[in-house]
A = this chain, B = another copy of it.
Amino acid sequence: MRVLGVDPGLTRCGVGVVEGAAGRRLTMVGVGVVRTPADAETAERLVLIERGIEQWLDEHRPEYVAVERVFSQHNVRTVMGTAQASAVAMLCAARRGLPVALHTPSEVKAAVTGSGRADKAQVGSMVTRLLRLDAPPKPADAADALALAICHIWRAPAANRLQQIAAAHRSTVPARLPKGTR
């Protein structure tokens, strides 16, 4: 499977394409950053991000898009921008009919390093090793995007199994339980 990982941000949107399967060798197809000028209007920046993501989708034709799930615990201003950039990434993917998956930062760290609390350097170094690169991709947003793609490839089999179980469950359990069974 070929996955585009997106680490969303208004100033720097990390993008990385990885090909592989769970338990198989992983290959980096491409990595980069979509940047927008900090002094531009938010609406203009979103247009630039859309254009950038579209180019990556056109060029690398991923089958899945994995986007970092945004939380609003952190800095208020940053979080709004991140949520908006992630919306554009999700929109570009879904508009093409590509499945979009969201992974939390700790899911990504845990998948790639074994610890949900790993720091940027540890993630960068594991990404470098897993993809057999000469050096950690820079900036960190680019490495994070690759980590997201790897996380998705490795989690996909489990996620698909869960979806199958849930679907099977839905088709065997009656929508409304008979009275008195609760």
Contacts and interface: CB of A to CB of B under 8 A. Distances in A.
A43 B94 contact: yes
Nearest to A94: B43
6 contacts: A42-B90, A47-B95, A83-B87, A84-B86, A88-B91, A91-B91
Count of identical protomers in the assembly = 2
A43 B102 CA distance: 10
Interface residues of A, number: 27
A50 interface: yes
A21 interface: no
Interface in A65-115: 70-73, 76, 79-80, 83-88, 90-91, 93-95, 100, 102
A83 B95 CA distance: 19
Contact of A41 (B73, B76, B100): B100
A65 to B, nearest CB: 8
Nearest to A41: B100
Contacts of A73: 76
Given A41-B100, A94-B44, A79 B87 contact: no
Contacts of A85: 87
Contacts of A71: 76
A46 interface: yes
B90 A79 contact: no
Contacts of A102: 42
A44 B90 CA distance: 8
A43 B80 contact: no
Contact of A83 (B84, B91, B100): B84
A50 B79 CA distance: 22
